[in-house]
Amino acid sequence: MSMECFVFFGILTFLLTTNRADALDCLLGESCVLPCSFQPGAEVIVHWIQLADSPAHSYYHDQDQLGHQNPRFSGRTSLFKNQISGGNASLLLSGVKVEDEGRYKCYTSTVDHNKETIIHLNAYAPVRKVELQQDGKRITCSSEGVYPKPAISWSTDPPSNQNLPENIKVQQIGQLYNILSYFTSVPDVEYNCTVSTGINKMAATLFKQTSLSGSSAETTMRCTSSKSTPTGIIWRFNHSQIIVSDGSVMEEWRQQVKSVSTSGDLTLKDLSTDHDGIYTCELRNAEGTYVTNTFLRIEHSQVSGLTGGGIAGIVVAVLAVLVAVLVVLLITRKKQTKETSSSQVI
Ligand SMILES: *[C@@H]1O[C@H](CO)[C@@H](O)[C@H](O)[C@H]1NC(C)=O
Ligand SMILES: *[C@@H]1O[C@H](CO)[C@@H](O)[C@H](O)[C@H]1NC(C)=O
Ligand SMILES: *[C@@H]1O[C@H](CO)[C@@H](O)[C@H](O)[C@H]1NC(C)=O
């Protein structure tokens, strides 16, 4: 290996290791290990300090020394006792809070060496779910309980330039953020909304509405063909009524729901024109949420006993009317004859 190459890789390794040691992402509310190692030796001293000067945890004389600990860390810190002698001074911090964010110094010393390591803790709550709801022409995209402050963006297919930042509302509940944005939809456009933080992002997609004429006996509607396994599936009728939610069928729909496949396709049976309307499948997986709308119209093609009966009914009604008219005509005739004859008598 040439000298330049050696220096280059040396710098690269240095940059990578310092970067990695520098930043630590800790999930809010969970436990997190702040790594720190040292050359083993006698008379170990460990001080963990949140900079500038908030003592988090100390250890010397072979035991924890928490007399000067900042009360914010009370009951939330510990070292891996059985590993200290091996040079492990990592700090286990439980119930991570936003206030725990910042730089930490790990100071270690033994009879032979001392060392300082700096680590930067970032707390986060990832985007776990993006909701896409439709109310008339307005589509609302939202996500809750995210930290740090998330961003939201829309894209459409075909592309549109309606992307107004004033349509974004951010609300802070405690330390977590809720974000919401809405879009006025037009037909035949696919909408994609993405909520992101520095840690992760999730998208929700609303596909173009499709139409289907279904048979009243049995009709199957497709959900989204998703690459990864769905973690949740909800079917709705006319944007409001829930039909099936994560495998459980609502009471009012028991008669109609025949099955829901593992990929989310819904098969309905015993349908009437009351079931005409928009069926929405909302599928969630690791990447996001996919919303598919299908406009279903039930076909009335069946010539059954009911229709035959209808025709017979009409025939009977027409006959009845004819008979009634005849009877009325006959009666009036008789009356007129009677009246004529009486006048003749007078
Ligand atoms: C110290 O020990 C803990 C617990 O076994 C481990 O999770 C951590 O990675 C170790 N840290 C170092 C720097 O060796
Ligand atoms: C939605 O947008 C995001 C971000 O641009 C992208 O990663 C994702 O693939 C898109 N999803 C669909 C279904 O278009
Ligand atoms: C559902 O929506 C369709 C189309 O908007 C409408 O014609 C139908 O009356 C609605 N059905 C119910 C039960 O609300």
- In order along its 346 residues, the chain shows pLDDT tens digits of 444 544 444 444 444 444 444 899 999 999 999 999 999 999 999 999 999 889 999 999 999 999 999 999 999 999 999 999 999 999 999 999 999 999 999 999 999 999 999 999 999 999 999 998 888 888 899 999 999 999 999 888 888 776 555 588 999 998 999 999 988 888 888 999 999 998 899 999 999 989 999 998 999 999 986 677 888 999 999 988 999 998 899 999 999 999 999 889 999 999 999 999 999 999 998 888 999 999 999 987 654 444 444 445 544 555 565 556 555 556 556 555 554 444 444 3
Q: What is the pLDDT of residue 13?
A: 44
Cα distance between residue 242 and residue 265, in whole Å: 15
User: Between the CA of residue 83 and those of 38, 44, 46, what are the distances in Å?
Assistant: 11, 12, 13
Q: What is the pLDDT of residue 326?
A: 58
Q: What is the pLDDT of residue 324?
A: 61
Q: What is the pLDDT of residue 327?
A: 54
Strand ranges for 1-157 from DSSP E: 23-27, 32-34, 45-50, 54-60, 63-64, 77-79, 91-93, 102-109, 114-124, 131-135, 138-146, 151-157
Strand ranges for 185-324 from DSSP E: 190-196, 201-206, 210-214, 218-221, 232-237, 241-245, 248-249, 257-260, 266-269, 277-285, 288-298
- Bond into 159 cis (ω within 30): no
114 CA distance to ligand 2 centroid (A)? 50
266-269 and 190-196 strand pairing: unpaired
Instruction: Tell me if 178 CB under 6 Å of ligand 2.
Output: no
Cα distance between residue 42 and residue 49, in whole Å: 22
203 CA distance to ligand 2 centroid (A)? 6
Amino acid at 178: N
Instruction: Tell me if 256 CB under 6 Å of ligand 2.
Output: no
Contact between residue 118 and residue 49 where contact means Cβ atoms under 8 Å apart: no
288, burial (CB in 10 Å: exposed 0-12, middle 13-18, buried 19+): buried
Q: What is the pLDDT of residue 135?
A: 81
For a mutational test of ligand 2's pocket, the pick from 194, 224, 291, i.e. the residue with the most ligand atoms closer than 8 A to its C-beta, is 194
Cα distance between residue 223 and residue 281, in whole Å: 6
Domains and CATH numbers, the chain: 22-124 (2.60.40.10), 126-206 (2.60.40.10), 207-307 (2.60.40.10)
For a mutational test of ligand 1's pocket, the pick from 46, 84, 88, i.e. the residue with the most ligand atoms closer than 8 A to its C-beta, is 88
Residue 85: partners with Cβ closer than 8 Å, 6 or more residues away: 40, 44
304, burial (CB in 10 Å: exposed 0-12, middle 13-18, buried 19+): exposed
Buried b / exposed e over 52-68, threshold 16 CB at 10 Å, is: eebbbbbbeeeebebee
For a mutational test of ligand 2's pocket, the pick from 132, 153, 155, 223, i.e. the residue with the most ligand atoms closer than 8 A to its C-beta, is 155
- Collapsing DSSP to helix, strand or coil, 52 comes out as coil
Which residue is closest in CA terms to ligand 3's atom 14?
238
Instruction: Tell me if 238 CB under 6 Å of ligand 3.
Output: yes
Cα distance between residue 235 and residue 283, in whole Å: 9
The residue among 189, 150, 149, 183 whose CA lies nearest residue 166 is 183
Which residue is closest in CA terms to ligand 3's atom 6?
277
192 CA distance to ligand 2 centroid (A)? 6
Alpha carbon of residue 242 to chain centroid: 16
239 CA distance to ligand 3 centroid (A)? 10
Cα distance between residue 66 and residue 6, in whole Å: 45
Ligand nearest to the CA of 152: 2
Instruction: Tell me if 35 CB under 6 Å of ligand 1.
Output: yes
The residue among 167, 33, 166 whose CA lies nearest residue 89 is 33
User: Between the CA of residue 99 and those of 91, 106, 264, what are the distances in Å?
Assistant: 17, 18, 43
Q: What is the pLDDT of residue 152?
A: 93
